[in-house]
């Protein structure tokens, strides 16, 4: 289930939070896939729910609200720490829109590069030619690979693949859908089988692809300011060691000199430290210039994760 959203005019927050009720046979991975979510994002939003045995009747938060990445709204945007793809497209009547899908991305040591490239080819039922480095890795683990893996259920590329202008990197399906929303690949981008099939039909050769590193995003909707923070990749810990300072700078740049804006900086720090990967309202533009401290915004009224224990520290 991947949803198409109308592209907001001037705003940058799409979607809504939801809830699902687990049945006795469900795992969180089952619920995630059925609702177009990946493993990591559903785990972060449901930290107190057992991954493998949520329990019959257990309420599960569906974190299906997103801040659009700070990029041009065109083509494909792959935000690696978020493990999510955004496809900017148009509806049948020409209205701009966006579809978003969860991703499996490169594990540590096999990171997906941050580049702007294009889709250079589309291949149905692809064969897989494992690079020598991957064959050596598998051989060392006692799991030797052939020089070519033909199309079929044993092919890790799944039924569809799109080649990029980056040598050896693909956007493809998978025969192991549980890995979507995790760092499991050798740098390629994995989608659920049903999602790659839909994307394969919609994306044309030549489509621009932006692979980005935005663990935190700042957005606006209806005069309310939102902050969304994801765990950064382990290898980027130095780059984001002062994440809160970076977020403060970006929030101030976003609101500019508008003195009518009130920001709950304590909440912004809590959201940064919690890094639950969901948009949280941290401020808003007040209706009157003189309404400052007497009418300070209370963004906690809009916390979406009340059912999952809130966004702050426990």
Instruction: Examine the residue annotation and report whether 172 is marked as an active-site residue of this protein.
Output: yes
At 304, list the tokens: 């979406």
- 3-state secondary structure (DSSP) of residue 212: strand
Report the run of H or E that residue 162 belongs to, with start and end: strand 160-164
Please tell me the distance from the alpha carbon of residue 190 to that of residue 182, in angstroms, as a whole number.
10
Which residue among 188, 195, 230, 232 is the active-site one?
A: 188
Instruction: Examine the residue annotation and report whether 24 is marked as an active-site residue of this protein.
Output: no
Please tell me the distance from the alpha carbon of residue 237 to that of residue 246, in angstroms, as a whole number.
13
Interior angle at CA 62, CA 61 and CA 66, nearest 5: 125
Please tell me the distance from the alpha carbon of residue 122 to that of residue 113, in angstroms, as a whole number.
20
Please tell me the distance from the alpha carbon of residue 99 to that of residue 114, in angstroms, as a whole number.
21
* Closest alpha carbon to 110 in 91, 79, 134, 88: 134
Which residue among 87, 172, 186, 230 is the active-site one?
A: 172
Please tell me the distance from the alpha carbon of residue 69 to that of residue 218, in angstroms, as a whole number.
8
- C-alpha torsion 33→21→18→192, nearest 10: 0
Q: Which residues are catalytic?
A: 172, 188
């Amino acid at each position: 289930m991947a949803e198409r959203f109308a592209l907001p005019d001037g705003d940058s927050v799409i979607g809504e939070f939801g809830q699902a009720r687990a049945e006795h046979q469900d795992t969180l991975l089952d619920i995630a896939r059925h609702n177009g979510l990946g493993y990591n994002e559903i785990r972060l939003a449901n930290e107190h729910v057992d991954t493998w045995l949520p329990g019959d009747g257990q309420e599960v938060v569906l974190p299906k609200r997103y801040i659009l990445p700070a990029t041009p709204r065109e083509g494909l945007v792959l935000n690696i720490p978020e493990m999510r793809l955004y496809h900017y497209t148009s509806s049948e009547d020409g209205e701009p829109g966006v579809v978003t899908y969860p991703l499996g991305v490169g594990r540590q040591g096999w990171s997906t590069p941050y580049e702007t490239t294009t889709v250079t080819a589309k291949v149905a039922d692809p064969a897989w030619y494992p690079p020598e480095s991957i064959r050596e890795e598998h051989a060392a683990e006692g799991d030797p690979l052939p020089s070519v893996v033909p199309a079929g259920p044993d092919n890790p590329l799944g039924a569809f693949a799109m080649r990029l202008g980056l040598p050896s990197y693909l956007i493809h399906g998978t025969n192991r859908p549980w890995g979507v929303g995790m760092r499991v690949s050798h740098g390629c981008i994995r989608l659920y089988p049903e999602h790659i099939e839909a994307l394969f039909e919609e994306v044309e050769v030549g489509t621009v692809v932006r692979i980005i590193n935005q663990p935190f995003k700042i957005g606006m909707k209806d005069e309310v300011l939102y902050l969304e923070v994801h765990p950064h990749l382990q290898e980027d810990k130095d780059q984001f060691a002062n994440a809160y300072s970076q977020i403060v700078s970006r929030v101030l740049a976003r609101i500019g000199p508008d003195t009518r804006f009130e920001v709950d900086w304590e909440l912004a720090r809590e959201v940064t430290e919690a890094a639950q990967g969901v948009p949280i309202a941290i401020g808003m533009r007040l209706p009157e210039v003189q309404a400052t401290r007497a009418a300070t915004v209370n963004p906690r009224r809009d916390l979406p994760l009340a059912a999952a224990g809130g966004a702050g520290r426990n």
